[in-house]
Each structure stands twice: as structure tokens, then as C-alpha cells.
Chain A
Amino acid sequence: NAGVTQTPKFQVLKTGQSMTLQCAQDMNHNSMYWYRQDPGMGLRLIYYSASEGTTDKGEVPNGYNVSRLNKREFSLRLESAAPSQTSVYFCASSEAWGGISNQPQHFGDGTRLSIL
């Protein structure tokens, strides 16, 4: 059972290049998320998808776009990479959205992205 799989694990880009980070989950979860993690900043939510067919901005969406390709896959695109986007990117999923039941988020192992 793979859980949440992110590809690639590492990537180095030049400023201005574009890149798509891939994320897939095999838990039949409805909700998926993209975060970035920077030293001293914790996790910041970039975009999320509460259910297939919907996406919403999180705390730091500028410079990114997302696509919820199907229930399993949620990709994050950098159209024109900037050095400020150097970070570790995490994808997560959860069974459902809102409500009062316990719905923890499950995380992938991250993509380490450096932009020169």
C-alpha cells in the first residue's frame, strides 16, 4: 500500500523554467492538498482540492497552478520558476472534507526543489 506518492523526489531548475510536480494517492481519498515547507515557516498550504473537480487557493498560491486530474491525482505546476520557490513540497490527502469525523491528512515524502 503506497499511500501518497510524489514524483520527482528531487529537481533542480533554472529561473524561468516550468515544472509540474505529480502526486497520486491510492487510498480513495476525496481531498488532496499541496504544501510547501521552508525553514522556520512550518507548512504553508498552497492549494487544495476538497473533492474531484474542485480546487481552491490556500495561504500562498501565487506563482502556482494545480490540476485535479482525477480522484487519485493532484498536480502542482510552476509556470515560471523563481528562486523564492526553492522549497520542499508536500502533497497530502484525506478521506473527506470538513465535518466532525476524524479525517487526518496523509503525506507523501516530499519533492525537494531548488531553483537557481
Chain B
Amino acid sequence: GEDVEQSLFLSVREGDSSVINCTYTDSSSTYLYWYKQEPGAGLQLLTYIFSNMDMKQDQRLTVLLNKKDKHLSLRIADTQTGDSAIYFCAERNSGNTPLVFGKGTRLSVIA
């Protein structure tokens, strides 16, 4: 079945850029998503990218997609303490299946 892999932890200093990486196995992925989960809360959709795009920028967030390598990344510029959270990568394919989520990357921002 489909699989989505992420590293579990990332620590960065406030003001630096964070890059969270994700790899997936499903070559028929159509949309890829990034969700953010703050402590004690549900998942919030941050951004998404369609599979025919290489890059999407939204304020401090940049999503890069390498479809050949099945690699997705989320770059957060000027990382702030409020960005500390768990970030989930998810993918959807064109068939009738729910989103497949990675296990999440816990981002810690050090002041």
C-alpha cells in the first residue's frame, strides 16, 4: 500500500529557516498536503500542492515537490516560536482512497 515517511524530530533556532522533508511511494499521487498540529489541538491545513507543480509559495511557507524522487518538502522562513508544532505530510491519489498521512515531524524552535 501507499506509504508516507517523515523524520520524527527537527530543532531549529528562532529566525532560521526550517525544512521538513517527506517521501511517499504512490506514483499516482495527485495532491500533497501539509498539516500543522499545535499541542492539544486538531490538524490544521497549512498548504497543498498539485502534483503537476514543482513549487508553491505562500508567505513564509515554500513547498517543493520532486515528483521523480517522490520527495516533498516544507520550508518555513524566519521560524518563530509559534511555529513549534507537529507537521504532517499527506498525499491523495486519484483513486477512491482517503488521504495517507506520515507520522509527523515535531518541530522545536529554540529562542
Interface residues of B in 23-61 (CB under 8 A from A): 30-31, 33, 35, 40-45, 48, 50
Chain A residues whose C-beta falls within 8 Å of the C-beta of B45 in the assembled complex = 104-106
Interface residue? A2 (CB, 8 A): no
Number of interface residues of B (CB under 8 A): 26
Give the Cβ gap from A93 to chain B, nearest Cβ, in Å: 11
Chain A residues whose C-beta falls within 8 Å of the C-beta of B99 in the assembled complex = 105
* Chain B residue nearest to A109 in the complex (CB): B42
* Chain A residue nearest to B46 in the complex (CB): A104
Give the Cβ gap from A32 to chain B, nearest Cβ, in Å: 10
Give the Cβ gap from A114 to chain B, nearest Cβ, in Å: 15
- How many A residues are at the interface, by size bracket? 20 to 34
Whether A98 lies near B95 (C-beta < 8 A) is yes
* Chain B residue nearest to A33 in the complex (CB): B98
Task: Tell me what chain A mostly uses at the interface: helix, strand, loop, or mixed.
Answer: loop
Residues in chain B within 8 A of chain A (CB atoms): 8, 30-31, 33, 35, 40-45, 48, 50, 88, 90, 92, 94-99, 101-104
Residues in chain A within 8 A of chain B (CB atoms): 4, 31, 33, 40-43, 45, 48, 50, 58, 90, 92, 97-100, 102-110
Can you report 13 A-B residue pairs in the complex whose CB atoms are below 8 A from each other? A31-B98, A43-B101, A45-B98, A48-B98, A98-B94, A98-B95, A100-B94, A103-B92, A104-B33, A104-B45, A105-B90, A107-B43, A107-B44
